[in-house]
Amino acid sequence: MTISWLPNRSRTAPDHVDVALSRGGAAQLRPLHAGETEPLLAVFEALSPASRFDRYLVGVPRLPSPMLHALVDVDGHDHVAWLATVAGRPAGIARSIRVAPDTAEIAFEVADAHQGRGLGTVLMDTVTTVAAAQGVRRITATVLPSNAPSLRLLARLGIPLTLRDGLLEGEGPLRLLDPARVDRHAVVALAQRQDGPVGQEGLVTSADA
């Protein structure tokens, strides 16, 4: 199946996208703005040491300033991050960082209290949707072999993984989740407000694989 869209260049565009979570409840999604450390730190504080290790692949008791600033050095195109809030509180972040003209590395984190409710899936769908609309055609990701939820997420994208130096490294064509877990028109329209016009090409979903 191929998805095409015409982003809605709405005059009264909302500043977030609402989403219902698969296991109940709702979240709001929006791009993280450049230099916006507060929600990023709130999500970091809500990660257990084990989740921080899974996310950063090393123990990270606190975010050193250079790392913090690198994480909020988003530009909406080569470095894209989206924030999920639940009941108005930061609950998760997903990002894609372009590592080659058509390739981006993805990473995500969900506050421990919100894990297992479908939020990671929603965030992954959001950030891959934006990446695809901006011309990314391949994605990479690195996870610990013990990270079962991440392996499930990457399996859903159909990325082959290779064990290297104790880490699983994945790279493959970017195929969007099928069915969509977010309103992709709304996501692209909101991304467009941050980044200017984004692609309107048809996109391949995981159902095409």
Ligand X SMILES: CC(C)(COP(=O)(O)OP(=O)(O)OC[C@H]1O[C@@H](n2cnc3c(N)ncnc32)[C@H](O)[C@@H]1OP(=O)(O)O)[C@@H](O)C(=O)NCCC(=O)NCCS
Interface residues with ligand X (CB under 6 A) are 51, 54-55, 107-110, 115-121, 143, 147-150, 152-153
Least distance from ligand X to the Cβ atom of residue 28, Å: 15
Q: Which single residue brings its beta carbon nearest to ligand X?
A: 120
CB count, 10 Å around CB of 13? 13
Q: Helix 119-133 crosses helix 148-157 at what angle (to 10 degrees)? A: 40
| DSSP letters for 115-150 | TTSSHHHHHHHHHHHHHHHTT--EEEEEE-TT-HHH
End-to-end CA distance of the chain: 9
- Beta partners for 107? 95
Least distance from ligand X to the Cβ atom of residue 110, Å: 4
Q: HSE, CB side, 13 Å, CA atoms: give it for residue 94.
A: 22
Q: Which is nearer to ligand X, 116 or 197 (CB)?
A: 116
Q: Which is nearer to ligand X, 49 or 197 (CB)?
A: 49
Q: Which is nearer to ligand X, 28 or 115 (CB)?
A: 115
Alpha carbon distances (Å) from 118 to 12, 38, 93, 140, 145: 29, 24, 13, 21, 21
Q: Which is nearer to ligand X, 109 or 195 (CB)?
A: 109
Least distance from ligand X to the Cβ atom of residue 126, Å: 12
Least distance from ligand X to the Cβ atom of residue 113, Å: 10
Q: Which is nearer to ligand X, 147 or 192 (CB)?
A: 147
Least distance from ligand X to the Cβ atom of residue 161, Å: 12
